[in-house]
Chains A and B, each alone.
Chain A
């Protein structure tokens, strides 16, 4: 019994240690589950889009509109997709910084994070320009509804991503911020990749499939 108890106490301390220091792991697991769950909202929108487009009850495009301009959005898309690589570089810098503790690496992280934010901001600006130039409103039929809802909902996610990045940037100036790992940065990065992938599907659906 005492031997068992000793074993149990050993395991107990190990488990406590593991569980207390694996909160970042739990958070990451939970965050991935959450992202998978959230992707279903977008998937349901995409499926809705496909259904509405393939079985139109009335007119698909608003009156007088035959299609939608793809050139500026394509440039916008390239900006957003490249920002995914930029944030990855930022994450690597942070990883290296935690390995070697050199401030230069941390500044690299900050710089690339800022660059990501600027690219995301440019994307949102491009969206605004596009919205203001369109000849139809949200009330002009089914394509218009779908277009504004999809791009708007995605834009909200981009904005959320930028806010998350701002937070991460601000926190990088707090001393001792990375003592318990850098889950926040990982989550921001994951979220940003998620937003990018969603945009690629969205672009194909709305701009390519006309």
Chain B
């Protein structure tokens, strides 16, 4: 191995088009560089995470007492509706698309995404759509108040009588977000299918790319169905069609099928990339190859397939015939198999390794432990008789927040910490990172664990007031929620301060395998001096073999971890 290569200063850092700024200002331009777009996505999404989190704080404050005494009931309903919508459509989706945008071209050895301009358009739709959704606070009648499901006939009821009301703005916003997601899906699928570097076969592709591909395929087959349902709902509200109006022979249950046909797989759209990140983070910090890599990679695609036929488990109580209940009970439980394979693979990956408790590793391990718990409660919910009791109670809320916060958000944190040195060229502060982890982990347990007993006792979700018997667990959950709110502060402090003046990280601070670690930090505009030629699989820990044939020509200045 020669150690000679170009110093990063010599690498051209020109922007994709002349005259573009090469400083923080480039994040406010219509840049077509996937790395700029990735960071734009992540930061924008994080802003909406804070907005949605503020709403959650108000919700938990309201639930400190049994009476509806903090905000008016309409406000409460609007808050949980927008909390859910923002967190799903404007935090989890975009932040994962951002991470995927940043990492996928680097990991497969491409210079950029297949359609850079489409990529930029996809991103700029997000702030537009989110602004539209938040603008609904300013229209008469306030924002949508029918939950993020927007079940008709309740979502069709229009107390103000205006055509421009919160519900319509909500649908338009989700539709714009959907168009953005579909364009993103086309872009990712094309990129992964057609832009892989020479030698990058399917089974040399990192598990994260597999997971992103699986998730984007779900977007492509699922989102249009929701779009169809949303168009019908919009027409019902605006021009008086009667798809879901029971008084005119419509059938509101049909909407639920459209909605859940996409919105349950949507959970896998969110969780699959996080699984991918677990699969990337664990081998690096345990210094061992991913155990059963092929099976873990393929299980992502298996989840894509199975997730297409589980949606009715959201409707066990919704006037569905018994045969449907039984069929979807079996399919729902089957999801546990590919998910289980992944968990066992991760446990086997760290087993006997050389584990270092860095912040990304802590977040990944915490996320996996929460995922095991959430998966088990998911099996409970998959069983029809149990679901008939806990359906629409806080048990469900606890279950999916363990997935969405305990697993997905912690996985996102793991990913951000893990690739932060790559994105910025600087290292975050480990102490603040560990503090962030501790607060997050304790907060997650304190807020979401009490929701399970509440649900089992029969407290319905989405209530602004509740019977006094539930106060004990609710107070604990609220306090945990406030702790979770505080936990974001060290993260922001850490990221902002170390981005500005953190210690220089070098190209490969984790001594990790992977194409993205072979180029400079941050990578130059076209990622690699030379397109890498891949000669071995993705997780070569303990094997002492090069990953690419032309290592010295990629723009790296450090020896990669081959010892």
Contact = CB atoms under 8 A, between A and B. Distances in A.
A and B touch in the complex (CB under 8 A): yes
Interface of A: 1, 4-5, 7-9, 11-12, 15-16, 19, 22, 25-27, 29-30, 33-34, 36-45, 48, 51-52, 55-60, 138-139, 141-142, 144-146, 148-149, 153
Contacts of A58: 248-249
A139 B237 CA distance: 11
A37 B241 contact: no
Main secondary structure of the interface of A (DSSP, over half): helix
B254 A52 contact: yes
A12 B242 contact: no
Given A34-B182, A57-B249, A4 B190 contact: no
B235 A44 contact: no
Given A26-B115, A51-B251, A145-B235, A138 B549 contact: no
Interface stretch (B222-230, B265-273, B353-361, B461-469): B222-230
B194 interface: yes
B531 interface: yes
B251 A40 contact: no
B231 A149 contact: yes
A4 B194 contact: no
A145 B242 contact: yes
Given A26-B195, A41-B225, 15 more contacts: A8-B530, A8-B533, A8-B553, A11-B198, A15-B197, A27-B115, A33-B189, A37-B185, A40-B224, A41-B231, A43-B224, A43-B225, A142-B248, A142-B250, A153-B231
Nearest to B185: A37
Interface string B161-189: 00000000000000000000010011101
B253 to A, nearest CB: 9
B429 interface: no
B241 A138 contact: yes
Contact of B249 (A27, A48, A59): A59
Interface string B524-538: 000000110100000
Contacts of A44: 224-225, 227-229, 258, 261
Interface residues of B, number: 49
Nearest to B187: A30
Nearest to A44: B228
B186 A30 contact: yes
26 contacts: A4-B550, A8-B530, A9-B553, A11-B198, A12-B530, A19-B110, A26-B115, A37-B221, A40-B222, A40-B223, A42-B228, A48-B232, A52-B243, A52-B254, A58-B248, A138-B239, A138-B240, A138-B241, A141-B248, A142-B242, A144-B241, A145-B232, A145-B235, A145-B243, A148-B241, A149-B231
B223 A37 contact: yes
B320 to A, nearest CB: 12
A3 B220 CA distance: 44
B531 A12 contact: yes
Contacts of B246: 57
B406 to A, nearest CB: 31
